[in-house]
Amino acid sequence: MQVLCKASSAAGDIQCSVCGQNFQVYWERTNPAEREAAREQILSALAEQHTSNHGTDAHKACFNVPEWNGSPRYSGAALLGNAPKAAFQAA
C-alpha cells in the first residue's frame, strides 16, 4: 500500500522520530491493520531521509511512501492527498 505524506506545521498524523516534523498522512486503504504496518514503514522512511538527504532539509514538503517517482496521476495516494505536481518533480 502507498501513502502520501505532507509536511504540516500543525499536529499531524505522524511525527518524524529524528527531527519532530509533523506530517499529514493520506491513506490509500483504511484497514487499521494495514495502517499500523504502514506507520512503521513511514517512520523508517522518515529516518532514512535524514541519512540520505544530508543537511537541514531532510524531508520534502510532500512525498509518497514507498517512494514514488512517477506522475502523481498514477498514484492513488497522491490523488487522494491532492499532491501538487511540483512536489514530485523536485529532486
What is the distance of C-alpha 47 from the center of its chain? 12
Pick from 1, 7, 18, 43: which binds Zn ion (CB under 5 A)? 18
The binder of Zn ion chosen from 3, 4, 5, 16 (CB under 5 A) = 16
Q: Which three cell numbers stand for residue 74?
A: 498514477
Please, which residue, 5 or 83, has the CB nearer to Zn ion?
5
Instruction: Decide if residue 7 touches Zn ion (CB under 5 A).
Output: no
Q: Does 19 bind Zn ion (CB under 5 A)?
A: yes
Spatial strand order of the sheet with 62-65 comes to 14-15, 22-27, 3-8, 62-65
